[in-house]
């Protein structure tokens, strides 16, 4: 790595990757950031697997050629649990994926009842099953396919109102009571979901620990790129590109600015 600030490309199906970008940017404020949201194909959760592999590989390869990043972060569970082997075979750039944080949930759970809140795609992946088998063998794991949550998170960031009852309907299957034990850890296996965390906490049938993978991803970025220099100047203003220009709203532009990103025009 040269002495110049690294360029980090953060990719997601929509706006969920912002929850991953925030801790990365806090850890490496000196880096230059490109955020790419594939809003033209959102949501990813129900796309056929081959379609998803081809789409994500195509978009990320194009963006890597265009922006020449030093590191790529796939801030999407649905994509990461499927396309990482293909991407790593295609690109020589280091790539960090986002996978369900089942191991830390299993380690933290006292009741040994944990749930994985995810998209339909992530729920059915063999990768998810292998994580459960390898790290949560002593736990009773409930997989919950929340079909509407990602879209609800997108709506909230666009300034729309989502009814608490609609959110509760999506998350309530993750709350399981067996004998005298209850679910005590829920894995947020979609990066959109932390955008709704305040609502989750407000409507939850009982308190649980919500497991967000973003801090671990930020630590991995620092491991690969090193620490920021002590004399780091004001953070760089990042750029954001959405593959569907029609998906822009004023509320969304404002939200991106809060994360230190400005719209890349002429995309």
Q: Which residues are catalytic?
A: 76, 190
DSSP secondary structure letter of residue 40: G
Q: How far apart are CA 246 and CA 250, in angstroms?
A: 12
Q: What is the dihedral of CA 54, 116, 18, 32, to 10 degrees?
A: -70
Q: How far apart are CA 237 and CA 253, in angstroms?
A: 14
Q: Is the dihedral of CA 159, 165, 167, 170 positive or negative?
A: negative
Q: How far apart are CA 71 and CA 87, in angstroms?
A: 13
Q: What pairs with residue 11 in β-bridges? A: 36, 74
Closest CA to 56 of 16, 93, 35, 87: 87
């Amino acid at each position: 790595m040269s002495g110049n600030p690294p360029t980090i490309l953060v990719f997601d199906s929509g706006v969920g990757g912002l929850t991953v970008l925030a801790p990365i940017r806090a850890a490496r404020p000196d880096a230059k950031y490109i955020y790419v949201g594939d809003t033209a194909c959102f949501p990813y959760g129900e796309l056929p697997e081959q379609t998803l592999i081809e789409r994500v590989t195509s978009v990320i390869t194009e963006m890597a050629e265009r922006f020449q990043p030093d590191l790529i972060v796939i801030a999407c569970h649905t994509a990461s649990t499927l396309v990482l082997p293909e991407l790593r075979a295609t690109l020589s750039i280091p790539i960090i994926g986002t996978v369900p944080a089942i191991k830390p949930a299993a380690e933290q759970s006292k009741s040994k009842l944990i749930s994985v809140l995810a998209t339909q795609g992530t729920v059915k992946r063999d990768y998810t099953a292998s994580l459960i088998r390898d790290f949560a063998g002593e736990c009773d794991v409930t997989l919950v396919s929340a079909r509407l949550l990602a879209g609800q998170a997108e709506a909230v960031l666009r300034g729309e109102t989502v009814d608490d009852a609609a959110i509760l309907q999506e998350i309530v299957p993750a709350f399981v009571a067996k004998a005298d034990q209850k679910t005590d850890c829920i894995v947020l296996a979609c990066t959109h979901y932390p955008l709704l965390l305040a609502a989750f906490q407000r409507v939850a049938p009982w308190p649980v620990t919500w497991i967000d993978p973003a801090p671990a991803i930020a630590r991995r970025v620092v491991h690969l790129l090193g620490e920021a220099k002590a004399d780091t100047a004001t953070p760089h203003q990042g750029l954001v590109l959405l593959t569907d220009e029609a998906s822009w709203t004023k509320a969304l532009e404002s939200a991106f600015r809060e994360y230190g990103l400005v719209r890349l025009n002429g995309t």
